[in-house]
Copies of this chain bind each other. A is one copy, B any other.
Amino acid sequence: VPLGEFDLIAKYFTRRSARTDVLLGVGDDAALLAVPPGRVLVAATDTLVEGRHFLAGTPPGSIGHNALAVNLSDLAAMGAEPAWALLSLSLPSPDESWLEQFAGGLLALADSFGVALVGGDTVRGPLVVTVEVLGFVEPTRALRRSGARPGDLLYVSGWPGESAAGLEILRRTGRFDETADPLVRRHLFAEPRVALGRELGGLASAAMDVSDGLLGDLRKLCAASGAGATLELESLPVSAALRARCTPAECEHWVLAGGDDYELLFTAPASAQAAIESLDRDAAAGGRPRLTRIGRIEAGQAVRCTRAGRAVDVAEAGFDHFV
């Protein structure tokens, strides 16, 4: 007997949440949610399509994980605390084993961030996964893309480029089970920088998550802020895992143009430099992603790359899922 759409949601995605701010979750026409007084609501949505955002053959647990992770990353980039998620799942057939693994990946990540799945919709159709995440932030601590000012320092978290290099390895090998490989694991299980986003509230002047390549996303941040930037290529962080597998030129390519890393790209006034260096020392001591200064915001509109102080022409298009 095929499972009806209502049964699917009930069977795989309904769980009792520990959150007392979920007044009504999965199972009614809509969810009822209590936003804490004094906070503003933060809402983001992202869609994953097979063959475009993940390879055919990707384990369902990874798809479920990443469908939520990309949205958590959007909230991290706002300095927000994620609270609730809704899932819209279009899939060709109600395959129970697929659903169990997909739900397992999504709900494990939700649990690790204390996020409750409060609603959704499951329909038969091509494999398309849309997740919406809701959360909240103190109004004065919200991180916009538009706040960068000339003179601000430019930072990136962690190790951009690893995920794209992992995707390239998967394209070559098709070995989705090689999760001992840190690059492959990074691609299959993105790590949203939620805790870092919370710490940057009140410190950073602008922030966004790196989903379409560092250089292209920097251009977007600068356009939103009405400013330019200098990006120091020799300062870009290159992880040991990436360096072990790629030539220096390949490393730079992945770091500048690789998508789906979900690191935070952010700016801060010089007055915040000491506080950010302190965050970085804490991160290093705790094994969390380091914060690397990679340039500065400039007057004007140009985003220039330099190497050892000399201008370099870099033509990295960045990811655009529509081109």
Contact = CB atoms under 8 A, between A and B. Distances in A.
Interface string A100-140: 00000000000000000011111111101010101001010
A283 interface: no
Report the copy number of this chain in the oligomer.
Answer: 2
A16 interface: no
A5 B321 contact: yes
Interface residues of A, number: 72
B119 A44 contact: yes
Contacts of A28: 78, 144-146, 208, 224
Interface in A19-61: 23-24, 27-35, 37, 40-47, 49-53
Contacts of A30: 42-44, 74-75, 77-78, 80
Interface in A82-108: 84, 86-90, 94
Given A28-B144, A28-B224, A322 B40 contact: no
A119 B43 CA distance: 8
A315 interface: no
A45 B126 contact: no
A29 B209 contact: yes
**Which 3 pairs show the lowest CB-CB distances between chains A and B?**
A49-B125, A30-B44, A126-B126
